[in-house]
Amino acid sequence: MHAEELMDGFSDTDWAKLRGVCATKGTAWQIRCAEMLDGTVNSAALEILTSLMASRNRDVVMAAAETLLSLAQTGTSVEVTPQLSALISKARMNGGDPYGFVLDLLLKNSKT
């Protein structure tokens, strides 16, 4: 069973647990968490990705941004909330190219 199939059966409690665990894990785990959320159309998944955008590690931020971009490009409504907008602006200041390119695409392909 793949992670995406497993997450299809997640309850609100399961999503809350994943969000809590994700916040305590290391960089590699957080990056993998962001990657596995690709293809998951769920508001809780979007909340986790937004929280990962707040990471101090730019690789975690970019993994979350790339997943959000992928979701937006495949038709998932990714709303750029004020919080997400601020996190994208912060990432742009800290990232440089090619990170700026991904973040610009995220803004372009998301719902504002």
**What single string gives the DSSP state of each residue in 72-92?**
HHTT---B--HHHHHHHHHHH
Length of the chain: 112
Report the predicted TM-score, pTM, of the whole model to 2 decimal places: 0.85
Residue ranges of the domains in the chain?
Answer: 3-109
98 pLDDT more than 70: no
13 pLDDT more than 90: yes
5 pLDDT more than 80: no
